Amino acid sequence: MNFAYDDTQTAVRELARRIFTEHERHKELEAAGQTFDADLWSALGGAGLLDAEIGFVEQCIVLIEQGRTVAPVPLWAHYATRRTFATLATDGIASDADVADEVVFVRDGSVFVTAPVMLERRRTTAGAECVVDVTGGERIEMDAADLLDRAVVLRCALGVGIAEKALELTASYVSERKQFDRPLGSFQAVQQRAADAYIDVEAMRLTMLQAAWQIDAGRDPGHAVEVARFWASEAGQRVVSAAQHLHGGMGADVDYPLFRYTLAMKEIELAFGGATETIARMGAML
């Protein structure tokens, strides 16, 4: 199957990449204690990229571009819930509930929406999360399984962007960093590690697009969502681990951007429950 982008999808990617790149300002937001970029959110809205009616594959393309800058906006939850400004709560935990207008959650196989009532705010691996009240809420007409499938695939797309950019940073670093008067990238062991990471990124991309295409076409994605989830959990961690290893001590420097990608990928892995849990779920499905 050919997953090459058509002209519209290419235009969406280029527009999203420009906006995310122009609004990349992590240190400024961190200094101000902010975990949500309101200016970026407005820019995305002005460009029409917050329109929930754009195709699902196109939404995933936008999420890839967000992952490349690990931009602090709740885009995957917005697309998944198809609400104006909502976050998605899983087991009573939601990101960005302190800035969202609504919290959407699944209970007993049905989907509910409520105003955010935060019970606790706490630091996480890659930022902050909120414990929210999901005991009440208004039931809405939305397929719970479809909502959860969309949420998984959108986060897989985010992971593709994260892994893709982490590998690009690594390729640039090993091309410039010298050891024994030779670029690190000239050593065979480094090349092999980077090549394995590239294969992992492409496997993440293709399995995500397979699931996204089926959802976009109105088909039952079946096992495709779980396959994409597995690759996001397993391969995503391999990629950022390889990136950290090949960067050496530089990877731990918080003045260098790689640490953000490592933490963001770890957050996705933990949210998905890890590859082992996904494999067990796939086995039960089969």
Domain boundaries, the chain: 83-141, 144-285
CATH of 144-285, one of 3.40.50.2000, 3.40.1260.10, 1.20.140.10, 3.30.450.20: 1.20.140.10
CB count in 10 Å sphere of residue 286: 7
Q: Which pLDDT score is estimated for 178?
A: 82
Q: Which pLDDT score is estimated for 105?
A: 94
Asked if residue 232 lies in contact with residue 272, where contact means CB atoms within 8 angstroms, the answer is yes
Amino acid, single-letter form, for residue 123: R
Average pLDDT by consecutive 10-residue portion of the chain (286 residues)?
87 97 93 90 95 90 98 93 88 86 94 91 75 92 95 97 97 89 88 96 97 94 93 96 93 90 93 84 84
Judging by beta carbons within 10 Å of its beta carbon (0-12, 13-18, 19+), is residue 72 exposed, middle or buried?
buried
Judging by beta carbons within 10 Å of its beta carbon (0-12, 13-18, 19+), is residue 32 exposed, middle or buried?
exposed
The pTM (predicted TM-score) of the whole model is: 0.93
User: Which helix (H) or strand (E) covers residue 116, if one does?
Assistant: none
